[in-house]
Amino acid sequence: MRRKEKHIYGGAALGGMITGLSDMLIQYFNLKEGDSFWKNWNAWRTLRITSIGASIGAGTGYVIYKTKRSSEERLPFNASKYLHSILNDLNISSNPQALSIVLEIRDEITEFVIAKFGDILSSKPEYSGSFFKRTAINSNFDFDIVLPFSKDSFHSLEEMYETTYEAILDEFSNESTEVRRQKRSIGITFSIDDFEYHFDIVPGREINNYKIDGELNLYVAPSNIFKNSTSTKTNIRAHKSITLNRPIERKIIKLLKFYRDENCLTIPSVVIQNIVIEAFDHKKAIPYSLYHNFIYAMEYMADKIFRKTLKDLSNTNNNIMDKISHWDREAIADQLNSDLDKLKNDKRYLKEIFEI
């Protein structure tokens, strides 16, 4: 929700709650002795007064918002510096306790799969995902643990997947932990202290020699009961190295992920990552201007979101644009273009998009 709407809706909620509760208390204290409040409560009157209070609160919230914006406009504003402050807030290390829990869970899962499958793994489990690639944001990140099974370990990829799923389910599933089947991986969500930690276990079977080439075949679950399961090839090392030596691109990826989440846009992280990498392969990043790099990436995404094909950098046989529907692309392009127009007129509009 944007800053303006937060002030208006927050004011409306507070104003409505205060006036509604106040009216209920007035009616309560005006009761005759022995009368039941619920039988005598004039709910329509309370609703009417609540509506009036919400309207006043919304107006007050808008005035506070405009006053705040007016005072900010008198101060200098550095757009790149502001985006850097957003990145600092998004950094996982900004929450040491959460980071410690993530690493503890990672080690627990790793120790279990080694104990369970160590004799049929061609190599130790490998870590991937946004956490490993340093493109994770603290509100939404994935930690992938890849299990590279030897090529003679199972009769089929489906058997490999189901055996891994059952083992993970038996070991970790409980009231606070959800284990679920996913298209290519097994998802585990740990709920700890009102926060969810997501991990993806990715079982794969080596094609030739995993230690040399890093290539695996993955099981792909059918999308519905009328389709058969399939497989896909991936190169884990290529996947892990996509953002290597790309510090500017990593920052833009994180900002766009946050932008997606703040605007409830349906765009997978892998699409954001690959579009950003492609964008800066076409045009060199400006080392000293995070703002101009961010604007360029937004423009590139708005321009390319309707393309039919975008190859996965870790598997060129995989068209990741298939993950986004036409309607979702429309919503993404509309939001990007609307914000770009406003930002071109006023860099301070960043504070409407990202509030810290």
pLDDT digits (tens, 9 = 90+) for 271-288: 999 999 999 998 888 888
Share of the chain above pLDDT 90, in %: 60
Q: What is the pLDDT of residue 93?
A: 77
Residues shown for the chain: 356
Q: Is 183 helix (H, G, I), strand (E, B) or coil?
A: coil
Beta bridge partners, 267, equal none
Three-class secondary structure of residue 35 per DSSP: coil
- Tokens of residue 33, six digits: 């002795």
Token pair for 57: 């609160």
Mean pLDDT of 125-146: 83
Do 216 and 200 touch, CB atoms closer than 8 A? no
Q: What would the mean pLDDT of 73-85 be, rounded to a whole number? A: 92
In terms of average pLDDT, the best of 111-115, 239-243, 280-284 is 111-115
Burial of 74 (0-12, 13-18, 19+ CB in 10 A): exposed
Q: Tell me which of 32-36, 185-189, 215-219 is least confident.
A: 32-36
Cα gap 277→250, rounded to integer Å: 9
CA-angle at 147, arms to 141 and 150, nearest 5°: 160
- Residue-wise pLDDT tens digits, 100-111: 888 999 999 999
- CA distance linking residue 139 with residue 128, whole number of Å: 18
Range 208-222 average pLDDT: 90
Is 3.30.460.90 the CATH number for 93-240? yes
DSSP string, 53-94: HHHHHHHHHHHHHHHHHHHHTTS---HHHHHHHHHHHH-GGG
Please, are residues 218 and 204 in contact by the beta-carbon 8 Å criterion? yes
- Residue 219 confidence class, pLDDT cut points 50, 70, 90: very high
pTM of the model: 0.82
Average pLDDT, integer, range 18-32: 92
Amino acid, res. 293: N
Q: What residues pair up with 235 in beta bridges, in sequence order?
A: 215
What are the residue ranges spanned by the domains of the chain?
3-75, 93-240, 244-353
d(CA 105, CA 110): 8
Residue 316 has pLDDT above 80, yes or no: no
Strand partners, 179: 188
Say what the pLDDT of residue 314 is: 72
> Has domain 244-353 been given CATH number 1.10.10?
no
Q: Which residue has the tokens 């995070």?
A: 290
CA pseudo-torsion sign 264, 268, 271, 273: positive
Query: Which whole number is the average pLDDT over 66-90?
Result: 91
Phi, psi of 36, rounded to the nearest 5 degrees:
-85, 130
What band does 23 get if pLDDT is binned at 50, 70 and 90? very high
